[in-house]
Amino acid sequence: DAGITQSPRHKVTETGTPVTLRCHQTENHRYMYWYRQDPGHGLRLIHYSYGVKDTDKGEVSDGYSVSRSKTEDFLLTLESATSSQTSVYFCAINAGSGYTFGSGTRLTVV
Amino acid sequence: KQEVTQIPAALSVPEGENLVLNCSFTDSAIYNLQWFRQDPGKGLTSLLLIQSSQREQTSGRLNASLDKSSGRSTLYIAASQPGDSATYLCAVRAENNDMRFGAGTRLTVKP
């Protein structure tokens, strides 16, 4: 769907380790987003990008950083993973006709 | 700050029933509103997108309405089927691209 792939699909990592999640799109859309989804909180925006090297913070950006060196790739990095960052992470693009989401990455921090 | 509320949080209906899911938002200055479906363990699938200038959108058995002035949208599902069982999310997008999601309504359609 709209050529969005997220990797990995599942990951278990230890507290304190860095983790990078990848979002790849094939359709050259300018806007890309990272959300996390947690029970009781719904989807919350972490960071978004409006072009190569152009990024901004969302609602829950603490502990996360992002990079976008190419139009097609948007990376989310947890600098030092904590148990509170256990969540399902979704990437999305703004395709003009609305948002399209990737299949998600389930991250568990132990 | 835009807040999006979906009521009820969960709904169980017998197959064949028509049903309405509700979404309300606090700031009427929106760009568009989008309804999504999410199956357990899966990503979000877009169902309908309503621009701020529109009153409703239809796709098959689904009809979404938008009343900006009252801060409300409804998703109407006709002749519900067990395959409609999922969580339905509404999301409101502002002019500045800020998109806010409701917590969703978990729908169960019983055969």
- A15-47 pLDDT per residue, tens: 999 999 999 999 889 999 999 999 878 899 999
Looking at residues B10-35, what average pLDDT do you find?
96
Q: Do B103 and A102 touch (CB under 8 A)?
A: no
What is the pLDDT of chain B when averaged over all its residues?
Answer: 95
CA–CA distance, B66 with B56 (Å, rounded to integer): 6
Q: Is A55 on the interface with B (CB under 8 A)?
A: no
Beta-carbon pairs below 8 A across chains A and B: 42
Q: Do A43 and B97 touch (CB under 8 A)?
A: no
pLDDT at residue A39, rounded to an integer: 86
Looking at residues B36-44, what average pLDDT do you find?
93
Q: Which residues of A84-106 are buried (b: 16+ CB within 10 A; e: fewer)?
A: ebbbbbbbbbbbeebbbbbbbbe
Kindly list the residues from chain B whose CB atom is less than 8 angstroms away from the CB atom of residue A41.
103
Q: Do A42 and B102 touch (CB under 8 A)?
A: yes
| Phi and psi at residue B79, to the nearest 5° | 45, 65
Q: Which amino acid is at A103?
A: S
If contacts are CB pairs under 8 Å, which of residues 33-92 in chain B contact chain A? 34, 36, 42-46, 49, 89, 91
A10-13, long-range: CB < 8 A, 24+ apart: A10/A105, A10/A106, A10/A107, A11/A105, A11/A106, A11/A107, A11/A108, A12/A107, A12/A108, A12/A109, A12/A110, A13/A81, A13/A107, A13/A108, A13/A109, A13/A110
User: The dihedral of CA A15, A45, A36, A67: what is its sign?
Assistant: negative
Q: Under DSSP, is residue A107 helix (H, G, I), strand (E, B) or coil?
A: strand
How far away is chain B from the Cα of A40, in angstroms, using its nearest Cα? 7
Is the pLDDT at A1 greater than 70? The verdict is no
CB-count burial class (<10 Å; 0-12, 13-18, 19+) for A62? exposed
Looking at residues A82-88, what average pLDDT do you find?
97
